Structure 1
Amino acid sequence: MTHRCAVIGHPAAHSLSPALHRAAYATLGLSDWSYEAIDVEPGHLDEFWATLDSSWVGLSVTMPFKSEIIAHGSPEPLVTELNAANTIIFGSSGERPGPPESNRCYNTDVPGMTGALAHRGLTSATTAILVGAGATARSGLAALSRIGVNRVEVVARSAERAHASLDEVAARYGIDLDVTGWDRLGGLGTDRADLLLSTAPVEFTDAEAAQIVRCAPVVFDVFYEQYPSALSRAAASAGRVSVDGIDLLVFQGIGQVRLMTGRTPDPQPLLDACVAELARRRG
């Protein structure tokens, strides 16, 4: 019997997760596993849930369901702390997906961030600049705390929304938070922090990016839709360490593959597969 997995979200067709997971199955010799992208419109999660049968093992979950999915499984502590899950594994007893108490919700975004940073050589830091203040920024704070960061300067369009989103998480992890306006992003100065983490879905101009990357020796842009992004290109040109959205996708994906299959793939074939898939789409 085929073991079925998928990524759900809206939109979902653009996701590189199928390329990543299928590459993992190939390297692990798992010929009876399948993975697809399924677009589920907001308000239709329960309707999709009713279509699942015993062939399903688990799901990757992206926006807008990272909080809603928690009602369908028992959350690990990190999920509860961040109110965000990106993975659900179905229980093995009875017909999948089973009742919520038989399923388990996980967040692999946080270990994915620390894994991506470690892959590019950064395992510890004390200060960071965080661009953006949404759900991904909350995961970013948790990841930053794991590598020793205790002081974060947040650049956000709304200080009020930034405090509402991030203050509780920062306090939980012992991080001193300072919020500054978006208009200051290009003038933060040189080497102001150990790390710049951008969680805002913004495509900066080349000129803006060149100014922004000066503020830290390591630049991490979590989005891959414009890979390589302006921040990644500017970081490379300036001799900064660049960590990008493909890195994050692969290392959070390795966590998902481990949860779903019990096996851990090597990262390089997955990185290569994602870059090749992007090139195919553009070519």
Structure 2
Amino acid sequence: MQHRCAVIGHPAAHSLSPALHMAAYETLGLSGWSYEAIDVEPGHLDEFLSGLDSSWVGLSVTMPFKSAIIAHGTPEPLVTALDAANTIIFGAVDGSRRTSRRESNRCYNTDVPGMTGALAHRGLTSADSAILVGAGATARSGLAALSRIGVRHAEVIARSLERAHASLDEVAARYGIDLDVVGWGELSAPGGLGTDRADLLLSIAPVDFTDAEAARIVRAAPVVFDVFYERHPSALSLAAAAAGRVSVDGIDLLVFQGIGQVQLMTGLTPDPEPLLAACAAELARRRDSQARRRDS
């Protein structure tokens, strides 16, 4: 019997999720399972879902559908709290087609346990304070994850204080986190963020910091977590390693949120190490390919 899964988003072709999930299927000894990246344009989510047949088990969901997908399944409490789901697992089928009944599907958020899992894998299981660089949707998942490891005070560095409060105040209050929001200029202040200002620095801003900026920023905490894998290894990750800080990166997050998805889709739990290696190898392969195209 065929079991189909995929990541959907716009764009989706860049996703490392197929490399991750296919590596998981291999390590788990699963045959008949497939996973692909599918680009779904905004406004076409309903049409895409209605065309799936009974071979489909579930989907990983990335931007811009993390909120829109909730209308197509019953959300777990974490999804409701954050208004964001990154996984849908399909339920009932009608003949050979998926039903459109919301109650037959389930929506989950594995980003939050993925963050705590990535931190634990690098040795951090508890903290009192944190700095968040950026204040978008990922920061809301970040606050939920921070609350799970005991953080009660978080300082947010944001380009717009107004938008940061609108995005994060309700979530911070829900999880009992005292929130301070400061301007982006804090990063370039003469003393920077200082040294060991918090237990953890979590960067959720898609910014390419210069080497000098990164070197100043990583002094602020003994553990530095840059959630984006597209620029792996990022300037922050490299600076953290050079400074003797613990570096947690976007591949760590990708793998641990992916492990949660594999569990939901297959009922089995893969070991993280082969998945970390597979994602790093695929990223290196893509960069080598791009370099050859530039040189040709």
TM range (shorter): over 0.9
Q: Which digits, 9 at most, give the CA deviation of each residue in 1:138-177, with x for residues without a partner?
A: 0000000000000000000000000000000000000000
1:252-263 alignment to 2 at 5 Å?
Answer: 252-263=257-268
Distance verdict in 2 for CA 1:78–1:54, change over 3 Å: same
Q: 2:108 aligns with which of 106, 109, 120?
A: 106
Moved more, 257-266 or 182-191: 182-191
SS at match of 2:181: strand
Q: Establish whether residue 117 from structure 1 lines up as the match of residue 119 from structure 2.
A: yes
Q: Establish whether residue 250 from structure 1 lines up as the match of residue 255 from structure 2.
A: yes
Q: 2:144 aligns with which of 128, 142, 145?
A: 142
TM-superposed deviation, 1:97: 4.8
RMSD: 0.8
TM-score scaled to structure 1, two decimals?
A: 0.99
Q: Which digits, 9 at most, give the CA deviation of each residue in 1:196-247, with x for residues without a partner?
A: 0001111111111001000000000000001000100000000000000000
Q: 1:201 aligns with which of 199, 202, 206?
A: 206
Partner of residue 219, structure 2: 214
Partner of residue 230, structure 1: 235
CA distance in 1, matches of 2:75, 2:137: 17
Letter in 2 for 1:21: H
CA distance in 2, matches of 1:31, 1:98: 28
Moved more, 40-49 or 167-176: 40-49
TM-superposed deviation, 1:282: 1.1
Gaps of 5+ in 1: none
CA distance in 1, matches of 2:136, 2:242: 29
TM-score scaled to structure 2, two decimals?
A: 0.94
Q: 2:283 aligns with which of 250, 275, 278?
A: 278
Is the contact between residue 215 and residue 239 of structure 2 (CA under 8 Å) also seen in structure 1?
yes
Letter in 2 for 1:234: A
SS at match of 2:212: helix
CA distance in 2, matches of 1:81, 1:148: 18
TM-superposed deviation, 1:93: 4.7
TM-superposed deviation, 1:2: 1.1
Identity %: 84
Letter in 1 for 2:263: R
CA distance in 1, matches of 2:64, 2:216: 32
Is the contact between residue 127 and residue 150 of structure 1 (CA under 8 Å) also seen in structure 2?
yes
Is the contact between residue 257 and residue 263 of structure 1 (CA under 8 Å) also seen in structure 2?
yes
Distance verdict in 2 for CA 1:97–1:16, change over 3 Å: farther
Runs of 4+ in 1 over 6 A off after TM superposition: none
Letter in 1 for 2:76: E
CA distance in 2, matches of 1:20, 1:98: 28
Partner of residue 60, structure 1: 60
Q: Establish whether residue 171 from structure 1 lines up as the match of residue 176 from structure 2.
A: no
CA distance in 1, matches of 2:127, 2:83: 25
Q: Which digits, 9 at most, give the CA deviation of each residue in 1:106-152, with x for residues without a partner?
A: 00000000000000000000000001111100000000000000000
Q: Which digits, 9 at most, give the CA deviation of each residue in 1:82-111, with x for residues without a partner?
A: 000000000045342541110000000000
Partner of residue 88, structure 2: 88
Letter in 2 for 1:247: D
Is the contact between residue 53 and residue 97 of structure 1 (CA under 8 Å) also seen in structure 2?
no
How many residue pairs match? The answer is: 283
SS at match of 2:132: strand
CA distance in 2, matches of 1:106, 1:230: 32
Partner of residue 24, structure 1: 24
1:143-162 alignment to 2 at 5 Å?
Answer: 143-162=145-164
Letter in 2 for 1:158: S
TM-superposed deviation, 1:76: 0.1
CA distance in 2, matches of 1:82, 1:156: 19
Is the contact between residue 50 and residue 100 of structure 2 (CA under 8 Å) also seen in structure 1?
no
Is the contact between residue 58 and residue 89 of structure 2 (CA under 8 Å) also seen in structure 1?
yes
